[in-house]
Amino acid sequence: MNSQQRAAMQMALTTLEELKTNCTIWLESDDAAITALREALAQPQGEWVDLTSDELFECDQHSYGNTPWTKMVSFSRAVIAAFKEKNE
């Protein structure tokens, strides 16, 4: 989970906890939502996993273009996609 998702989950948890305190009708399913959010937020955030030399070479093999600029843009996009896939 990224920092933006983490912040959204924290906001939702805070809102639910405030509602529970101030609400006259509270359902067990609402408690389950609070528990699920607490458990998700308690998970340690993963460490960033870098690309290996072989993975960077693979990105280069998939880059294309007939000018240095287009090849660089293509390579950059391939590297970004590989990082996203590896660090989800």
| pLDDT tens digits, 74-83 | 888 888 888 8
Residue among 6, 9, 86 nearest 48 (CA): 86
- Which single residue is written with the structure tokens 């924290």? 10
Q: Does residue 1 carry a pLDDT above 80?
A: no
Q: Does residue 27 carry a pLDDT above 80?
A: no
Distances (CA, A) of 52 to 49, 63, 82: 9, 17, 11
